[in-house]
Amino acid sequence: MKAKEIIKIIENICPERLAYSWDNVGLLCGDENKDVKKVFVTLDTNINTVKEAISKNADMIVSHHPILLGGIKRIDYSTSVGQMLKLLIENNIPLFAAHTNMDTAKGGINDKLAEIFELTDVKILDQHTDDSSAGLGRYGRLVNIFQFGDFAEHCKKILGTPFLRVSGDFEKDINTVAVASGSCSEIIPLAFEKGADVIITGDMKYHNMIDMTELGICVIDAGHYPTEICVMYIFEDILKDTDIEIIKSENKDIFKLVWHNLKYIVDETDAKIIITSIWRLFPDYLYILMNKLEEYGLDKNVISLTISNKYKDKLQEIAVKLKKLGITEYVVLDNDKTLNLDRHIITNNVTGLTEIDAKQAVKILSFNEEMSRKYSR
Q: What integer is the mean pLDDT of 25-49?
A: 95
Q: Return the minimum-mean-pLDDT range out of 61-70, 75-84, 149-158, 334-343.
A: 334-343
Cβ of 327: how many Cβ atoms within 10 Å?
16
Question: Which has more pLDDT, 313 or 198?
Answer: 198
Q: Rg of the chain's alpha carbons, rounded to an integer? A: 22
pLDDT of residue 43: 94
Confidence band, pLDDT 50/70/90 cuts, at residue 304 = confident
pLDDT digit string, tens, across residues 208-242: 777 777 878 889 988 888 999 999 999 999 999 99
pTM (predicted TM-score): 0.71
Q: How far apart are CA 280 and CA 276, in angstroms?
A: 7
SS (H, E, C) the chain: CEHHHHHHHHHHHCCHHHCCCCCCCEEEECCCCCECCEEEEECCCCHHHHHHHHHCCCCEEEECCCCCCCCCCCCCCCCHHHHHHHHHHHCCCCEEECCHHHHHCCCCHHHHHHHHCCCEEEEEEECCCCCCCCCEEEEEEEEEEEEHHHHHHHHHHHHCCCCCEEECCCCCEEEEEEEEEEECHHHHHHHHHCCCCEEEEECCCHHHHHHHHHCCCEEEECCHHHHHCCHHHHHHHHCCCCCCEEEECCCCCHHHHHHHHHHHHHHHHCCEEEECCHHHHCHHHHHHHHHHHHHCCCHHHEEEECCCCCCCCHHHHHHHHHHHHCCCCCCEEECCCCCCCCCEEECECCCECCHHHHHHHHHHHCCCCCCCCCEEC
Q: Tell me the one-letter amino acid at 277.
A: S
Q: How far apart are CA 53 and CA 59, in angstroms?
A: 8
Confidence band, pLDDT 50/70/90 cuts, at residue 376 = very low
Q: How far apart are CA 44 and CA 229, in angstroms?
A: 9
Indicate if the pLDDT at residue 130 is higher than 70: yes
- Distance of alpha carbon 304 from the chain centroid: 27
pLDDT of residue 308: 59
Question: Which has more pLDDT, 14 or 353?
Answer: 14
Domain with CATH 3.40.1390.30 in the chain: 3-102+229-248, 106-221
pLDDT digit string, tens, across residues 326-339: 988 899 998 877 77
Q: Which CATH number describes the domain made up of 3-102+229-248?
A: 3.40.1390.30
Q: Which residues pair with 178 in a beta bridge?
A: 139, 199
Q: Which residues pair with 35 in a beta bridge?
A: 2
Q: What integer is the mean pLDDT of 300-325?
A: 79
Q: Tell me the one-letter amino acid at 97.
A: A
Taking each helix axis as running N to C, give the angle between helix 231-238 and helix 109-116, from 0 to 180 degrees, rounded to the nearest 10. Answer: 110
Nearest to 88 by CA among 73, 75, 102, 74: 75
- Distance of alpha carbon 349 from the chain centroid: 8
Q: How far apart are CA 360 and CA 279, in angstroms?
A: 25
CA angle 24, 250, 227 (to 5 degrees): 55
Q: Tell me the one-letter amino acid at 99.
A: H
Average pLDDT score over the chain: 87
Q: How far apart are CA 187 and CA 212, in angstroms?
A: 11
pLDDT of residue 374: 41
Indicate if the pLDDT at residue 247 is higher than 90: yes
Q: Which CATH number describes the domain made up of 106-221?
A: 3.40.1390.30
The alpha carbon torsion through 209, 215, 217, 219 (nearest 10 deg) reads 0
Q: How far apart are CA 263 and CA 297, in angstroms?
A: 8
